[in-house]
Amino acid sequence: MATYGKFVFLSLALVGALILSGCAPVAVKNMEGGEAARLYALNCAACHGAAGDGGIGVPLALQDFQSSVTDDYLFRTIRLGRPGRVMPNFSNLRDEEVQSIVRFIRGWAINPPNIVDKPVQGDPLHGKALFGAYCAECHGAGGEGGAGTGVTFSRPRDQPIMAPGLNNIGYLAAASDQVIKATLMHGRDGTPMRSFRRFRVSEQDIDDIVSYVRSFELQAARRQALPPRDARPALVFQSPHDFAKTVHKLKQAMVARNFLVIREGTLESGLVNRSRENQRQWVIYFGNLEFIDKPLRTDPRFGLFLPGRVTVVEQDGVVRVMAANPLVINALFNNDGLAAVIEELYQTYMNVLREAAT
Amino acid sequence: MKKMINRWLTMILLLIVSGPLLAGDMLMVRSKLPFPLALKAVQATIEARGYTVAGVENVDLGLLRMGYLSDSYKVLSFGKAKEIEALIRLYPELAPYLPLQILVFSERDDTLLVATSPAYLATLFPHTGIAAIFARWEGDLQVVLELVRDAEHHTPVEQDGSNY
């Protein structure tokens, strides 16, 4: 019965918190360990898993990972992120905070790494040939990395863990030659990345590959993110037709492109009484299997913007058709893998909207 | 009251409510609650903060219907009707982003919650008049996500007192 009382108390605490939660939440900042765990839970666990077992991000608790990377590598990775590869940069955290996250991640290591940083001397040209033969199938011919995100998103995919981008400016700035070399020597047991020593290659061959990976730096430095060519948050067209005809033309334009109208209704549907819904704000959801499946495979978070959605609003006699601009939404994801999907979605919206508004 | 408490008993136990979420344009948390409970918890917390849950889009069922096997994957939309109505009246081009949304999907035993930061959305538009309301949405959404992140799943104690 005491147990029941405890639960009642905690449940009431929850209900209370729900009601009162406008007030500043209580932060738990007792000891360093607790603080580090809190920082990790706050900033990293959503992607890398609470126990470092991976998710949208790659696993961090693997022993082969732990023994292949230095604290400096972890620190810089957190600071710089991986531009275009989902992993954000945490420029908002203080140095001490990043350091305590590094120590927290190190808590998963059984043996500390044994890496003495000194440059590797190798032949990048020979390394390039070896890379093409042994690495490109997973990491891409130019080291651009595998498609998708992290570990299993419980749907079918080619690799259980995505191969990271090696030509990434964030990776190259974080990884010393010896960190890259250690990764090739150890591999990452429990992932598709295997120790390179199982092939009949010399240590010099490995050094050559390291030099080749290092040479990606030259291209990486040149790659620059451009601002979107159409930076309006919403794509808006004014329709010359009345409301009903505009809605009809939109649906025609969708069907003509082999899309299914998945659902339609007022924008206020579910928010207000059915009889009070504004009938002049209409939302049409559309898509087809490929249209929805492809982006979700690349980035499960993209479901926030799926299926396709077009909104029709009539106000003061003016009928407008509109959609959220995918080129602008793109910035949310830090995922270059979405580029083709984003471009296709943008074209689809522009075509459907334009067709309805002419 | 007892019934309500019991519901919470079998569902959620609040551990700690800690500081702000991952700063950024995307709000993301991982909850230990299994998917169905996480979805219920999101709905309950949103409603407790005075918002109306407008609907739950069954993206997973949609995929299933099209012949594709998918895991649990839903988009929940919510808002306050009066606020949304007033905003669209002034700025119709906000309409494609309203009502607000939270994506809820399972990843093995956990559930991930993802939302676009309303504060970030506000920066996309040139209208300074919308900042305050979007900032309030941001605050509320953060609290909702934090509560679900920190909620713990417990089996009913009535059947098994030995745990405690």
Q: A271-322, pLDDT tens digit by residue? A: 999 999 999 999 999 998 888 888 887 888 888 998 999 999 999 999 999 9
Q: Do A304 and B151 touch (CB under 8 A)?
A: no
Q: Which of residues 129-148 of B touch A (CB under 8 A)?
A: 139, 143, 146-147
Q: Do B143 and A324 touch (CB under 8 A)?
A: no
Interhelix angle A2-20/B35-48, nearest 10 degrees: 50
pLDDT of residue B161: 37
Q: How confident is the model at residue A337 (pLDDT cuts 50, 70, 90)?
A: confident
pLDDT of residue A222: 67
Flag residues of chain B having pLDDT under 70: 1-24, 62-71, 153-164
Rg of chain B (C-alpha set): 17
Q: Is A347 exposed, middle or buried (0-12, 13-18, 19+ CB in 10 A)?
A: exposed
pLDDT of residue A17: 41
Which is nearest to B53 in space by CA: B63, B40, B64? B40
Domain boundaries, chain A: 2-16+226-356, 31-222
pTM: 0.83
In whole angstroms, give the CA distance from residue B75 to residue B85: 21
Q: Do A38 and B18 touch (CB under 8 A)?
A: yes
Average pLDDT of chain B to the nearest whole number: 80
Residue A174 has pLDDT above 60, yes or no: yes
In whole angstroms, give the CA distance from residue A194 to residue A25: 45
Q: Which CATH number fits domain A2-16+226-356: 3.40.630.10, 3.30.310.70, 3.40.1180.10, 3.40.50.720?
A: 3.30.310.70
CATH number at A31-222: 1.10.760.10
pLDDT of residue B10: 36
Query: A75 or A198, which is more confident?
Result: A75
Alpha carbon of A138: minimum distance to chain B alpha carbons (Å): 23
Q: Is the dihedral of CA B76, B141, A337, A179 positive or negative?
A: negative
Which is nearest to B76 in space by CA: B25, B33, B115? B115
Query: A257 or A85, which is more confident?
Result: A257
Domains A2-16+226-356 and A31-222 alike in fold: no
**C-beta separation of A294 from A341 below 8 A:** yes
CA angle A295, A300, A302 (to 5 degrees): 55
Report, in this order, helix, strand and coil percent for chain B, each rounded to 5: 50, 25, 30
Residue A357 has pLDDT above 50, yes or no: yes
pLDDT of residue A334: 87
**Cβ-nearest to A332 among B21, B25, B143:** B25
Residue A8 has pLDDT above 50, yes or no: no
pLDDT of residue A113: 87
Which of B63, B66, B141, B159 to probe by mutation at the A interface, max A CB count within 10 Å? B66
Q: Which of residues 50-89 of B touch A (CB under 8 A)?
A: 52-55, 57, 59, 62-63, 66-71, 73, 75, 77, 79-81, 84-85, 88-89
- The alpha carbon torsion through A6, A12, A14, A18 (nearest 10 deg) reads -170
